[in-house]
Amino acid sequence: MRARCIVFIAANSAFDEDIVIPPARHVQLLGLGPWVLGDASLANFASSVPRNITIQTNTAEEQVYTVQGPAFVARPVTVIGTFDNGTSVSTHTNYTDGTIISGDVIFENTDPVDPFATIEFQLLNARVVGSIIQSLVDPHQGQLNSYFYNSRINIINHDGLRIQRMVDCRSDGTITAAVYSEITNSAINGNVTVTSAVSDVPPTGIFSSQFSTITWTGPLNLDTASNYYFVNSGSTLVGTKTILFSLA
């Protein structure tokens, strides 16, 4: 499990297949340019059949490694995106150096005894057209530490997901997650439900971000610039607001 498997993907590739990443793995799917998971046969590189990425978890398989001693303790990590930093908020691969995932990113437990595991997930210059969700059949439970950079996401629905970083991103659908630490320079266009704001990965709060007319349910920590956009968008808060860096 300590070995890192880095898959470099040729620029402008399209893969019309579903991907399953087995448990207890460190896998990075990194394009050397824009690439699509799907056939990319429709307008704006949309796919005629959505293709999913399923990330499996299994505590028993992880313990095969971790019981061997501290040197073998490593948390499973999945990274999806491109090698170079950039932006992937567009539907057009020729406008971006990013990745388009035409379907869902699904987190699935395969351990019949213990469904709980703590795992890491990162999107780098990726657009997820579908949802980031727990499997409907056997959902992963436990913490999903997530990092989103230069990405465009749709729906998030995972009761253990922790938004540790969301930087230069856009959300188009609803977000249902456990907690958030930092959201910076992002556009939030769907309703958000979170349990708490935590200092897992400081700074804690929402900075330099904009909002459509949404409902935010849960604690809302945000700087004065973000608060301006939240108020002027006509958004609704069901929870407690803390305005950061305010001198008023």
pLDDT of 184 strictly over 70? yes
Residue 3's pLDDT band (cuts 50, 70, 90): confident
Q: Which two tokens stand for residue 36?
A: 């699509």
Strand boundaries in 10-73, DSSP class E: 13-15, 19-21, 26-31, 35-37, 53-57
Distance CA 22, CA 19 (A): 10
Q: Which residue has the higher pLDDT, 89 or 190?
A: 190
Mean pLDDT calculated for residue range 236-248: 88
Residue 94's pLDDT is: 61
Residue 1's pLDDT is: 67
Residue 197's pLDDT is: 95
HSE-CB for 90 with a 13 A CA cutoff: 14
**Residue for token pair 């590739």:** 13
Residue 89's pLDDT is: 65
Residue 44's pLDDT is: 82
Residue 83's pLDDT is: 86
Q: Which two tokens stand for residue 197?
A: 């704001």
- In this predicted model, what pLDDT tens digit does every residue of 85-121 receive, in sequence order? 777 766 666 667 789 999 999 999 999 999 999 999 9
Per-residue burial over 100-131, b = 16 or more CB atoms within 10 Å of its CB, e = otherwise: bbbbbbbbbbbbeeebebebbbbbbbbbbbbb
- In this predicted model, what pLDDT tens digit does every residue of 20-60 receive, in sequence order? 999 999 999 999 989 999 999 998 888 999 999 999 999 99
- In this predicted model, what pLDDT tens digit does every residue of 116-171 receive, in sequence order? 999 999 999 999 999 999 999 999 999 999 999 999 999 999 999 999 999 999 99
Predicted structure pTM score: 0.94
Q: Is the dihedral of CA 114, 116, 122, 126 positive or negative?
A: positive
Mean pLDDT calculated for residue range 71-97: 80
